[in-house]
Chain A
Amino acid sequence: MAEASAGHATIIQDWASDVTTFKGVPWGKAMMWIFLLSDTFIFSIFLTSYMTVRATTAEPWPNASEVFSLMAFGHSVPLLLIAIMTFDLITSSGTMALAVNYGYRRDKRKAIFFICATAFFGAVFVGMQMFEWYKLISEGVRPWGNPWGAAQFGSCFFMITGFHGLHVSAGVVYLLIIAYRLHKGVYDKTNFEIVEIVGLYWHFVDLVWVFIFAFFYLW
C-alpha cells in the first residue's frame, strides 16, 4: 500500500498536512534518518578533505592497490583483504535486511538470530581492519608519514577508516543492545520498528564503506 500512495502529488500534500510530515514514519525512524543525513555530511567532508589534500600535495601518492596487497597462494593479490572486508560487510547488510523483515513479521526468535549474525559479521570486519592497521603500521605507515610518498596517505587512511571503524564498532554494540532488549521483551508492545531503525544505521555504515572503497582503495 505504500506504493499506492507514493505519487509525486503526495509531496505537497504531506508537507502541507498537520501532525506529521513523514506519514507512517515513527519518531525514532525519522530521527535516525535525520541523524544519518547529518552523518552523511561528516563522511562527505572527510572524503572531500582527503580529495583536497591528495590533489594539493606535490609528493607522489602511494599506489593503494600495491600497498594493500596480500600474498596468497604464492602471488601478490591486490586489495585482497579489502575485498574480503567488502564482502563481509555486504553479508552483514543482507542478514540485517532479513532481521528487519522478520522483525516486522513479529518473528522475534529469527529477528534476534539475524541481528546477532549481523553483529558477528560486524565484529569480524573490525577484526580484519585491526589486522590491516597492524600490517600497515609494521610496514612503516604512520599518520605523519610513510615510506612511499605523501604523508597525507597515512593521515587520511587512519582517520577515515578509523572513523568508519568506530561507527562499525558502535553499531555492533548498538545491535547487541537491541537484541538483548528484544529478548527481554522491552519492545513487545510495539511493532518492532526498532529493528528497522538499527537496520538503517547498519546499512548506512555499509553505504559509507562503498564510498571509501571506491575513493580510497580503488582511485
Chain B
Amino acid sequence: MAQAEIPYQESMELHHPHSWVTKYWYSQDHKVIAIQYGITAMAVGLVALVLSWIMRMQIGFPETGAAWGITPDIYYQSITMHGMIMVIYLLTAFLLGSFGNYLIPLMLGARDMVFPFVNMISYHVYLLSVIVLLLGYVLPGGPTGAGWTLYPPQAILSGTPGVDWGIITMLGSLAIFIVAFTMGGLNYVTTILQARTRGMTLMRMPLSVWGIFAATVLGLLAFPALFVSAVMMLLDKLIHTSFFMPAIASAFDAAATQYDGGSPLLFQHLFWFFGHPEVYIVALPAFGVVSDLLSVHARKNIFGYRMMVWAIVAIGVLSFIVWAHHMYVAGMHPYFGFFFATTTLIIAVPTAIKVYNWTITLWRANIKFTVPMLFAISFVITFVVGGLTGLFLGNVIVDVPLSDTYFVVAHFHMVMGVSPILVIFGGIYHWYPKITGRMLNDTIGKWHFWVTAIGTYLIYFPMHYLGFVGTPRRYYDNVLASGGESAFYPESAALLNAGISITAFVVGAFQFLFIYNLVVSYWRGREAGPNPWGATSLEWRTPQTPPIHGNWGDQLPTVHRWAYDFSVPGEKEDFIPQDVPRQA
C-alpha cells in the first residue's frame, strides 16, 4: 500500500524526441498527438463541409444541381459520407482525440498519458482509418450511399450506390477507427483514474475532464456493438452469411437469393446500442468544456458542480437503455415503445438540470463577452432548441408523424451537429493561447462567431417546420418525383430550401476564415502570456507556455481546491488557481 501512495508519474520515464520526425510525427507527447488529431479531424471535416454544399445545392436547387451533374448516386454518397465523417471522424475524434489528449494530463497535473507509446499508435491508426474511408472515392463504384446508418439489406445490395467497394471501405474504416479509439480511450480512462496529481480528487476535476471521462467510458462500452455489427455485415457482404439478411427477392442483385433467415432488425438494434451512447460520446465532452468556458468567462463558479457531475454520470448510464427510440417506426416489437419512451424522457431530466445550471451560472455573474464566451452562450441556446425537439422525437407517439422527416434532420443537427461544433470553436479560441502562446485574432473571431451562430440558427430552425409539413429526409428531389407541387412539399417549402442552401453556402465559407485565423495567428497573434483569461485549472499553471514535453518542472503541482474558485469574497484577485494552498 505504501508504494501506491507515491505517484508513479514522478518516476515516469519520458521519451524525449530530437529530430523533426520524432518530434512532430512519431511523437509520444500527448500535446503533439492532440494537435495531430485536431488537424486531421479538421481536414476531414472540410471534406464533410464540401459534401454538405453538394447536397444543399441539390436540395435547394434541384434543377441546377442535376444540370451540374449531381446524380442521385452522388447525392446519396454525399449525405452518407457527410454524416459518417461528422459524427465519427470529426466530432468524436476532435472532442476525445484532440481535446481529450490535450486536456487530460494538463488538467490533472500529469506528465503525460500513462502509456504514451500506445497513445501515439492510436493517432496513426486513426489516420489509417481516415485514409481507408476516403479510399472509397477512388475505388470502383465510389463510396457507399447507404445513409450513415448503413442499414442492411440495402447497404450491401445493388440498387444502392457504392456496393462494390464503398461499403467495404466504410465498414473496414469503422473497425480500424474503433481500434484507434480503444487504444486512446484506455489511456484516457487509466490516466484519469490512476494518474492524477496530489490533491486532485475526482470531485475536484474540471468538468471538461468529467465530460471526456464519461464519454470515453461510454465509447469503450458502446463501440464494441458497432465493431461486431461491422464484422457481421462485412461477412454478409463478402461471403454471404445471413446475419442481417432474410430471404430476399431483389430486382437488382442476383446474388441476393443466397440469403435466408437473418434479421435486419438485429443490425438496427446493435447499431443504435452503439449509436445512442455515441450521441453522448459527442455531447458529454461538449457539456464539460462549455461548463468550463462559461465559468471562466463569466468570472463565476459553475453553479451546482456536484449536480453537474452526477448529471453527467446519470446521462452516461441511462444512454445505454434508450437506444431503440431511434427505431419507433422500424417495425420492432410494438411494446418496446413504452419502455424506450419512458427511459428516454427520464434522461431529459439530468440534461435539463445541466441547462439550468449553465444559465444560472450567468446569473449575478460578471460576464466578459470574449469570443469563447460568445460561442459558449450560443451553444446553450442552440442546445436548448435541439434538446427540446428531442423530447418530441423521444416520446414514441409524437415521433410517429415526425420521424424520417426534416424535423429529425433539424433536431440532430441542432443537438449534435451545431452544438458540439460551437463548443469546439469556443474551446479552440479558449485554449489556442495555451497551445501556441499567442491569441487568436479577436476581430476575425467575432465575425466568425456572428455568421456561424446566426447562420446555423437560420439554417436549422425553419427545417423543423418542413418536418411538420411532412417533407421527407433523404430525398434527392421532392419536386420531380411528384411531377409538381404536393401537399408534403408546397412551393413555399422549395423556396425555403433555396434560402437555407444559400445560408449554408455562406456559413460554410466563413469557416475558411476561421482556418485563416488559426494559421495567421500562429505567427502574427498577440503574445498571450501564461494565463490570459484568468482561469483556475491546472493547464494554465505550467512553467512554460506552450508547455514542454513532461508539462511540469521538477515537481508536480499539488491541488488544494476545486477548479471554480472565481470571485471568492474577500480575495483580491477574482480567481484562485487550483494549486494555491488554502489559508490556514
Contacts and interface: CB of A to CB of B under 8 A. Distances in A.
B559 A159 contact: no
Interface stretch (B3-11, B149-157, B335-343, B564-572): B3-11
25 contacts: A5-B1, A18-B559, A19-B5, A19-B7, A20-B193, A22-B194, A25-B4, A25-B194, A27-B8, A30-B190, A30-B194, A31-B114, A31-B190, A34-B186, A34-B190, A38-B186, A38-B221, A45-B228, A49-B243, A57-B260, A57-B261, A58-B261, A151-B241, A152-B243, A155-B235
Contacts of B4: 20, 23-25
Contacts of A163: 231
B186 A159 contact: no
B354 interface: no
Contacts of A18: 196-201, 559
B150 to A, nearest CB: 16
A59 B242 CA distance: 12
A58 B242 CA distance: 13
Interface stretch (B262-270, B281-289, B408-416, B466-474): B262-270
A73 interface: no
A143 interface: yes
A18 B202 CA distance: 7
A152 B242 contact: yes
Contacts of B194: 19-22, 25, 27, 30
A154 B241 CA distance: 9
B225 A45 contact: yes
A38 B190 contact: no
Contact of B220 (A27, A37, A45): A37
Given A16-B201, A19-B198, A30 B260 contact: no
B261 A144 contact: no
B366 interface: no
Interface size class of B (residues with CB under 8 A): 35 or more
Contact of B261 (A19, A25, A56): A56
Contacts of A49: 228-229, 232, 243, 266, 270
Contact of B193 (A1, A26, A30, A44): A30
Contacts of B270: 45, 49
Contact of B242 (A1, A30, A144): A144
A134 interface: no
A17 interface: yes
Interface string B287-309: 00000000000000000000000
Contacts of A83: none
A150 interface: yes
A150 B261 contact: yes
Nearest to B204: A18
B240 A144 contact: yes
B224 interface: yes
Contacts of A21: 193-194, 202
Contacts of A24: 1, 3-4
A15 interface: yes
A144 B194 CA distance: 46
Contact of A17 (B195, B201, B239): B201
A35 B115 CA distance: 14
Nearest to A155: B241
A210 interface: no
Contacts, number: 139
Interface of B: 1, 3-5, 7-8, 114-115, 182, 186-187, 189-190, 193-203, 220-225, 227-229, 231-232, 235, 239-243, 258, 260-263, 266, 269-270, 273, 559
B261 A152 contact: yes
A20 B4 CA distance: 8
Given A27-B115, A27-B190, A49-B270, 11 more contacts: A19-B7, A20-B195, A24-B1, A25-B194, A27-B8, A31-B115, A52-B263, A56-B261, A59-B261, A151-B242, A152-B261
B235 A159 contact: yes
Interface size class of A (residues with CB under 8 A): 35 or more
Contacts of A38: 182, 186, 220-221, 223-224
A41 B4 CA distance: 30
A18 B109 CA distance: 11
A16 B202 contact: yes
A5 B4 CA distance: 14
A95 B571 CA distance: 63
A42 interface: yes
A56 B242 CA distance: 12
Interface of A: 1, 5, 15-28, 30-31, 34-35, 37-39, 41-42, 44-46, 49, 52-53, 56-59, 143-144, 150-152, 154-155, 159, 163
A19 B189 CA distance: 13
A129 B386 CA distance: 52
A189 to B, nearest CB: 10
A45 B224 contact: yes
A33 to B, nearest CB: 9
B38 to A, nearest CB: 24
B273 to A, nearest CB: 8
A99 B189 CA distance: 28
A53 B266 contact: yes
Nearest to A154: B241
Q: Which 6 A-B pairs have the closest CB atoms?
A: A57-B261, A41-B224, A155-B241, A42-B224, A38-B220, A21-B193
A30 B260 CA distance: 44
Contacts of B235: 143, 155, 159
Contacts of B239: 143-144
A15 B151 CA distance: 41
A52 B262 CA distance: 9
A38 B241 CA distance: 26
B266 A52 contact: yes
B196 A42 contact: no
A27 B261 contact: no
A151 B260 contact: yes
A184 B355 CA distance: 57
A149 to B, nearest CB: 10
Contact of B228 (A1, A19, A42, A57): A42
A151 B227 CA distance: 22
A31 B262 contact: no
A40 B245 CA distance: 26
A49 to B, nearest CB: 6
A152 B260 CA distance: 9
Contact of B225 (A25, A41, A143): A41
A119 B397 CA distance: 57
A155 B243 contact: yes
A62 B187 CA distance: 44
A1 B199 contact: no
Contacts of B182: 35, 38
Nearest to A20: B194
Nearest to A45: B228
Contacts of B197: 18-19
A56 B189 contact: no
Name, among A21, A35, A38, the residue most crowded by chain B CB atoms within 10 Å (CB to CB): A38
A16 B194 CA distance: 12
